[in-house]
Structure 1
Amino acid sequence: MELWPPRQQGMKAMIEARLLVERGTLRDQSEDWGAFHFLALPSPGDRVAVDRDEGVHYLTVICVHHAPVAVARGAQPSAQVVAKWTGAE
């Protein structure tokens, strides 16, 4: 998880997380839609609107996988948002 952009006066930091989308049954392979910036990590049940493939896709968050790291390591934590595709415009 990375804060973007680096904190500047008057700007809000964003969290980068990988978006994994379930489009079929939960047994099907998740689609990796890549990394997106969030103002805050969503919670299960949240609805997310994603601009993709020349349209807006609506998703419902199933869960968020957090991968924290120890501060002493200096590495970046990461997160994956798993969401169910519910429709598109």
Structure 2
Amino acid sequence: MIEALLLVERGSIRDKSQDWGAHAFLALPSPGDRIVVRRDGEAHYLTVLCAHHRPVPMDEVANGAEPAAEVVAKWTGSE
């Protein structure tokens, strides 16, 4: 599993992304993938816009550094 911060775009292009916190993914999703996230008792449907990868050099892994990622997705509805 891969942990990634989920940033959600809702509303106008000028609005800031909403930080929905860290989520565990089986693999990082690709642009265009559809994902469903449970939040506040509802299922929210999102379309992935991009994934920001933050790799770590191998020599820093030995010192405990871990790679990270953010998934940016557009909210498309909920139920």
Q: Please name the residue that 2:20 is paired with.
A: 33
Q: Please name the residue that 1:51 is paired with.
A: 38
- Secondary structure in 2 matching 1:29: coil
Shift of 1:44: 0.3
- The aligned amino acid for 1:23 is R
Confirm or deny that 1:81 pairs with 2:61: no
TM-score, normalised with respect to structure 1: 0.83
Confirm or deny that 1:63 pairs with 2:53: no
Aligned alpha-carbon RMSD (Å): 0.6
Count of aligned positions: 76
CA deviation profile, 1:14-58 (whole Å, cap 9, x unmatched): 100000000012221000000000000000000000011001000
The unaligned stretches of length 5 or more in structure 1 are: 1-13
Q: State the percentage of identical aligned residues.
A: 67
TM-score, normalised with respect to structure 2: 0.93
